[in-house]
Amino acid sequence: MTALATALRDAAIIVARVAAGASLAAEFERFAEEGTETPRAALIDLTHGTLRRYGRVQAIVRQLSRRERGDALAEALLWCSLYALDSGRYAEYTVVDQAVRACAMLERWSAKGYVNALLRAYLRERASLEARIQADAEARYQHPRWWIDVLKQHYPEHWKAILAAGNSHPPMCLRVNRRRSRVAEYRARLAAEAVATREIGDEALLLERPVPVERLPGFAEGDASVQDAGAQRAARCLELAAGQRVLDACAAPGGKAGHILETAAVQLTALEADATRCARLERNLARLGLGARIANADCTRPGEWWDGVPFDRILADVPCSASGIARRHPDIKWLRRSHDIAAFAARQAAILDALWQVLRAGGKLLYATCSVFPQENDAVIDAFVARAAHAVRLPLPDGAAAQGLPDAERDGFYYALIHKQP
């Protein structure tokens, strides 16, 4: 069963680096490049599961440890091992044994006794520990205290549900390419592959349980894309029509850009400031067999990429806290700081000011975030409409609320449609 020891070792290395400020996605890329014996699925389970319960596993160690915070790798190994015990996927004695072996693999020989003793103490005292842990808000709700406080303030009736969604496994939703197939037809193809789904939108199919994209018929040919149902609102809210000049200002990885091109025969310009993400955008549109003018450029500097012809529609899917999709990136909760939100809001305001210059009179701009924090959403839009010439906020065409909250079917997205009056 050394496979579990190896997986715990690798997971501990990743989690320790995330705890020190690294991105979980970047660490997975690094591991993929360097190679590892641990199957990716097992590594995702241990790292993502641990980080979803980061507040809890930290609280358990604090309660049971009789020493100051020790070696970072040994601490991370304990967190991952506690998650493995809570997951119920392994026999308890196996987890303890393999955690001690992982300690040796990490060359933390002096910590073997400490790891063994703490895990055994947890198993003995688990029931009595629960009451003490429940009194700790971060341990109980698995989010930083400042995050909890913001949600309590703005969503007094829904904050617990939002936090619970942030700790859950994310749903897997598909967008059927309307240029290639009807939803009912593609759903039948999935059923033939024993992939159960249900329709939750014009082109959206929610999978009963996630599957690898290799199991999706026609995925490589562009028959469908993986895209959350909340993200699929963007193309509908833009009110697209053939021949329009459309700008996707922060386009990577390309899900919304692809949806725009599937919806109408528009002239799309797609911008992305990050070169690596820009390459991913190109690959995603190529898979769909769709064309756009793609530029590796910063949307706040129109002089570097704009040809001087105004756009009919602009999608501003701006950088944000990602608080509405925390379950997909469980490190985000613990990497973000409360002061980051004001910095995001300032960047979002700068993007809106720059894009307003390239929107034609009579055109529409759709502002989008994957955040549930009002400081990045209504506050940004209200301030923009107050200061921008000829800016009027419109009702969303799909009739839904601007702020979507994460639930079992979709992530938390925010949309605001702004008209530039002639």
Positions marked active-site: 370
Residue 314 β-bridge partners: 247, 365
Helix 54-64 with 112-134: angle, nearest 10 deg? 110
Distance CA 131, CA 320 (A): 35
Q: Greatest CA separation found in the chain?
A: 73
Q: What is the 3-state secondary structure (H, E, C) of the chain?
A: CHHHHHHHHHHHHHHHHHHCCCCHHHHHHHHHHHCCCCCHHHHHHHHHHHHHCHHHHHHHHHHHCCCCCCCHHHHHHHHHHHHHHHHCCCCHHHHHHHHHHHHHHCCCHHHHHHHHHHHHHHHHHHHHHHHHHHCCHHHHHCCCHHHHHHHHHHCCCCHHHHHHHHCCCCCCEEEECCCCCCHHHHHHHHHHCCCCEEECCCCEEEECCCCCHHHCCCCCCCCEEECCCCCCHHHHHCCCCCCCEEEECCCCCCHHHHHHHHHCCCEEEEECCCHHHHHHHHHHHHHHCCCCEEECCCCCCHHHCCCCCCEEEEEEECCCCCHHHHHHCCCHHHHCCCCHHHHHHHHHHHHHHHHHCCEEEEEEEEEEECCCCHHHCHHHHHHHHHHCCCEEEECCCCCCCCECCCCCCCCCCEEEEEEECC
Paired tokens of 2? 């050394």
**Token pair belonging to 304:** 């570097």
Decide if 380 contacts 349 (C-beta within 8 A).
yes
Q: How many Å apart are CA 418 and CA 396, to the nearest integer?
A: 9
Nearest of 53, 36, 56, 108 to residue 77 by alpha carbon: 108
Spatial CA neighbour of 17 closest among 95, 75, 69, 68: 75
